[in-house]
């Protein structure tokens, strides 16, 4: 995200501040939604740099509190509030029970703020790396309705589903990554240690070598060469650093990379389904909590870091803000599948949008589960075939000259 400094007029008064947005166009749209007549809008390099620095510093702390810890905390808090305890009393009990040091520090800070008369949702807002905007808005809805326990239960369900999706993606990717790593490791050992011994033997024979053998020997020599192999390794590392820099600092490059991710065979569709399932769940929960649709869409952008999805949601938000149907604008965004906009349109027409969005979430969760199951079935034979082709190809190329010479001797 970037920061933009602006000056303008709202309700006859001069205003000056900064706003967070993906780009200048989004910043302008956000200001228009706030009914601000813009007189100046420029990118704030200082605030953007400060935000990145702050994010880097707080990243370790934020990641230090695992989602499982937040999930357990929320579940226990909901149970205690349902039993009739006040939030402050519940948190004091939880402070004694929690073992995670970072989580304990956060609970202590929240208790301190609560005793000063600050709302629970406002207390959580001070810890954005642990309690995201979706979490905070559902807590707010619980406070407003007097049903905090019910909305904390909704948060628990959302967190459990998020963890389920993460674990399934990890489970689907772990096995192929291990097999691929083993294949590359074995290949590297063969190229560096085994093939040079064959090369020495072939030199003694002095015979003409088959093309596959020559290719493998050339690759082995290249990998072992301190100049050629070393330069290649440095270039690869340099490319990775440049690529990461461009993705983090050049929006156009980031967007193309995120578009490419969705086009990766099998995995792209899997990632897309998991994001859409989470978006539908968030939209359904927030609409059910009474959050305005424009604000709901704005919060839903925090579900993913993929700018293609974020842009699509932002375009839908603009359409809804201008008074158009959400379903029609979702239809215009090709990133969303037809089923998504069809069911959203039905939900709008029947007045059951939140219920329909929850149905969509369940539908795409099932789709995601089926895709993971299919991937697990497909990936094993594919990886075994890959390993067999790679390692078998190297062995065959080395034994071809020996087979050829044995035929000549006969």
Instruction: Give 22's pLDDT tier (boundaries 50, 70, 90).
Output: low
**Are residues 373 and 284 part of one domain?**
yes
Number of Cβ within 10 Å of residue 167's Cβ equals 10
Q: For residue 90, what are its two tokens?
A: 């519940």
Q: Is the model's pLDDT at 409 over the cut of 70?
A: no
Asked if 325 and 368 sit in the same domain, the reply is yes
Best CA proximity match to 103, nearest among 131, 135, 134: 131
pLDDT in tens, 192-240: 888 888 888 877 777 678 888 888 888 888 888 877 777 888 899 999 9
Q: Do 37 and 138 share a domain, yes or no? A: no
Residue ending a domain, among 102, 133, 158, is 158
Same domain, 361 and 242: yes
**Domain region containing 14:** 2-62
Strand bridging mode 13-21 / 2-10: antiparallel
Which residue in this structure is represented by tokens 């359409």?
A: 319
- Are residue 371 and residue 268 in the same domain, yes or no? yes
Could you read off the pLDDT of 245-297 as tens digits, one per residue?
A: 888 888 889 999 999 999 988 788 888 888 888 888 888 888 877 778 888 88
Identify whether residues 284 and 383 lie together within a single domain: yes
Residue that terminates a domain, selected from 124, 158, 192: 158
pLDDT, residue 80, reads 92
Residues 215, 137: one domain? Answer: no
Cβ atoms of 212 and 400 closer than 8 Å:
yes
The torsion angles phi and psi of 85, rounded to 5 degrees, stand at -80, 150
Q: How far apart are CA 233 and CA 339, in angstroms?
A: 46
CATH of the domain at 127: 1.20.81.30
Dihedral in degrees, nearest 10, Cα atoms 86, 89, 93, 95? 110
**What is the domain count for the chain?**
3
Residue in 339, 290, 346, 348 with CA at minimum distance from that of residue 319: 348
pTM for this one? 0.67
Nearest Cα to Cα of residue 115 among 141, 91, 148: 91
Instruction: Please indicate, yes or no, whether residues 95 and 143 belong to a single structural domain of this protein.
Output: yes
> Residues with Cβ < 8 Å from 95, sequence gap 6 or more?
104, 107, 108, 111
d(CA 317, CA 325) in angstroms, rounded, equals 10
Report the SS3 class of residue 344.
helix
The token duo for 26 is: 């989004």
The string of pLDDT tens digits covering residues 326-338 is 888 888 888 888 8
Q: Which of 158, 177, 202 is the last residue of a domain?
A: 158
pLDDT of residue 237: 92
**305 and 165 share a domain?**
yes
Q: Distance between CA atoms of 81 and 3, rounded to whole angstroms?
A: 39
Whether residues 279 and 144 share a domain: the answer is no
Does residue 137 sit in the same domain as residue 165? no
| 133 and 106 belong to one structural domain | yes
Per-residue pLDDT at 58 exceeds 50: no
């Amino acid at each position: 995200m970037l920061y933009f400094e602006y000056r303008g007029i709202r309700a006859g008064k001069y205003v000056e501040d900064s706003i967070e947005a993906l780009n200048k166009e989004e910043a302008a749209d956000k200001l228009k939604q706030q009914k601000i007549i813009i007189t100046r809008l420029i990118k704030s390099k200082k605030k953007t740099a400060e935000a990145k620095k702050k994010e880097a510093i707080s990243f370790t702390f934020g990641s230090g509190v695992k989602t499982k810890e937040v999930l357990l905390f929320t579940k226990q808090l909901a149970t205690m509030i349902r039993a009739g305890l006040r939030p402050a009393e519940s948190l004091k009990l939880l402070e004694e029970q929690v073992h995670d040091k970072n989580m304990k520090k956060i609970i202590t800070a929240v208790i301190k703020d609560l005793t000063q008369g600050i709302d629970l949702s406002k207390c959580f807002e001070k810890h954005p790396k642990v309690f995201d905007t979706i979490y905070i808005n559902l807590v707010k809805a619980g406070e407003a309705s007097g049903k905090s326990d019910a909305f904390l239960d909704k948060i628990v369900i959302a967190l459990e589903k998020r963890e389920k999706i993460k674990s399934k993606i990890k489970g689907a990717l772990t096995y192929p990554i291990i097999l691929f790593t083993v294949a590359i490791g074995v290949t590297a050992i063969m190229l560096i240690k085994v093939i040079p011994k064959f090369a020495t033997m072939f030199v003694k024979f002095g015979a003409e070598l088959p093309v596959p053998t020559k290719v493998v020997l050339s690759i082995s020599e290249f990998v072992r060469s301190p100049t050629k192999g070393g330069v290649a390794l440095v270039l690869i590392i340099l490319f990775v650093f440049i690529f990461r820099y461009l993705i983090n600092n050049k929006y156009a490059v980031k967007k193309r990379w995120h578009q490419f991710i969705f086009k990766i065979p099998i995995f792209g569709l899997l990632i897309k389904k998991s994001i859409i399932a989470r978006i539908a769940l968030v939209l359904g929960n927030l609409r059910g909590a009474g959050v305005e649709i424009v604000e709901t869409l704005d919060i839903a952008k925090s579900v993913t870091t993929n700018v293609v999805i974020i842009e699509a949601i932002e375009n839908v938000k603009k359409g809804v803000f201008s008074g158009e149907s959400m379903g029609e604008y979702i239809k215009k965004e090709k990133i969303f599948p037809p089923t998504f906009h069809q069911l959203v349109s039905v939900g709008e027409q029947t007045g059951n949008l939140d219920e329909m969005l929850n149905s969509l979430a369940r539908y795409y969760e099932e789709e995601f589960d089926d895709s993971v199951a299919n991937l697990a079935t497909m990936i094993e034979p594919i990886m075994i075939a890959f390993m067999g082709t790679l390692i078998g190809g190297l062995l065959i190329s080395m034994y071809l000259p020996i087979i050829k010479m044995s035929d000549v001797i006969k």
